[in-house]
Amino acid sequence: MGTDQHAQFDAEEQKTILALVTAGEKPVCPRDETPMTKRSIGGGSFGLGYSRRREWLICPTCKRSLIFDLKRGTRN
């Protein structure tokens, strides 16, 4: 492993992952094709009238991850 271990996905890799998710497919890591682990993340302020449902996708092999907003389908 090089110095980029634990680095983030680049913009094209993020688009690839989000395309899989929005198509209803299981996301796989674009670097090593390992199925990614999903973790749901809640948040926001209910008192202020908004709440966010986000999902955290993690590659168990290279440890890169991506957090995105489920409702908007955008990275965060």
pLDDT, residue 1, reads 45
Q: Check whether 63 has a pLDDT greater than 70.
A: yes
Contact 63, 5 (CB under 8 A): yes
Over residues 29-39, the mean pLDDT reads 95
| pTM for this entry | 0.71
Q: Which of 9, 21, 13 is nearest to 64 (CA)?
A: 9
- The band of 4, judged by pLDDT with boundaries at 50, 70 and 90, is low
Extract the runs of DSSP E, i.e. beta strands, from the chain. 37-43, 52-58, 65-69, 74-75
Amino acid at position 66, single letter: L
Over residues 18-44, the mean pLDDT reads 90
